[in-house]
Structure 1
């Protein structure tokens, strides 16, 4: 099977709202790149919505969509985080976090009611979001001798590589981003430059 080197995510923050029997469910969707971003977002929402009862969320990370987490934040197990995650799954979105802030309206909604409310709040947020397609890119670093600079820069230009950082001294280091589908041909060309070393850093 060919590796699918694109994935869907959201372009910017979005929000949606769903109401049921006086309870208010406000969904916030965020594009994220790592788990480290989740905690500060939750903290700022808790500050902003000091009177809200629950802050339930789900996120998916990584282009291969393997990393995910759900949190029911005190709601009955499976009624909040899971429906939010299912919403991300059905839209096939990754590198995204959705937090649903619940204000309790005094009437218990029961398990089916909660599942429905969290799912619909999430759907509302995703509806207002701009969904974009991104390519899966690898970050590589190459080390080479100053004399090979022209060869390296020509290759960077030919392959339209995105240069992230460069340090040209006696020994030069260049960090670039390359689309996964293009990787093998790029590395094959770099291998033709004598004495050049390349190293994989990570995938985004």
Structure 2
């Protein structure tokens, strides 16, 4: 099961006098990932290498280090820990001792992996957007059942005939919740799917 991070986590390591500072955080989309990278890079450092993974989208940068010694090992650290929707920046302050290509790959990949391993993680739940309608009398029982199913209400529209709720429902709870709603409303309401799956 893929996980993302609950918040930004920072991890520092000194390897042969070079300081490596890893910063990892959640990124809902590519724009958020690039903003995280820009916000956590230090222009005064020797290198700011980075990687992100957001579903099928990924990128990485060696930022002047020899090709393949920084960004790719960092991406492998993300993938190796089943992380998704995550961006990582590893900033290096050169300490005067060359690490060699293998040493660099181990330093960048290892620092990123340790940062991710120590960070607080949250499971990514596959959710579906839907709408449902109910009378005012049915609203509180419906809200209670939605909460039990792990669904969240994203919008409420109140009209003369009742309420229309926009909800985000965990995919695994969709069929059971819909069956309950049809039965509860005596066939007057059902979940209408809006679009494809999206993440919580």
TM-score when normalising by structure 1? 0.79
Structure 2 unmatched runs, 5+: none
User: Which of 119, 144, 150 is the equivalent residue of 1:157?
Assistant: 144
User: Which of 69, 74, 77 is the equivalent residue of 1:79?
Assistant: 69
Tell me the residue number matched to 1:128: 118
User: Which of 12, 36, 39 is the equivalent residue of 2:7?
Assistant: 12
Does residue 54 of the first structure (1) align with residue 44 of the second (2)? no
Judge conservation of contact 2:146–2:152 (CA < 8 Å) in 1. no
Tell me the residue number matched to 1:22: 17
Whole-Å separation in 2 of the counterparts to 1:35 and 1:150: 43
Tell me the residue number matched to 1:39: 34
Question: Offset at 1:70?
Answer: 1.8
Structure 1 unmatched runs, 5+: 1-5
User: Which of 107, 114, 119 is the equivalent residue of 1:117?
Assistant: 107
Tell me the residue number matched to 1:94: 84
* Offset from partner CA, 1:79-103 (integer Å, 9 cap, x none): 1111111111221121211110111
* Offset from partner CA, 1:103-162 (integer Å, 9 cap, x none): 1223332210110110121123124312333422222234x4xx7454565444324332
RMSD of the TM alignment (CA)?
A: 2.6
Inter-CA distance 82–152: structure 2 relative to 1 (3 Å threshold) = same
Question: Offset at 1:9?
Answer: 2.1
Judge conservation of contact 1:28–1:98 (CA < 8 Å) in 2. yes
Inter-CA distance 181–109: structure 2 relative to 1 (3 Å threshold) = same
Tell me the residue number matched to 1:176: 167
Whole-Å separation in 2 of the counterparts to 1:180 and 1:194: 19
Inter-CA distance 7–45: structure 2 relative to 1 (3 Å threshold) = closer
TM-score when normalising by structure 2? 0.80
Judge conservation of contact 1:15–1:124 (CA < 8 Å) in 2. no
Give the count of matched residue pairs. Answer: 191
* Offset from partner CA, 1:16-59 (integer Å, 9 cap, x none): 1222232221100102211111222222223xx23112211112
Whole-Å separation in 2 of the counterparts to 1:45 and 1:7: 24
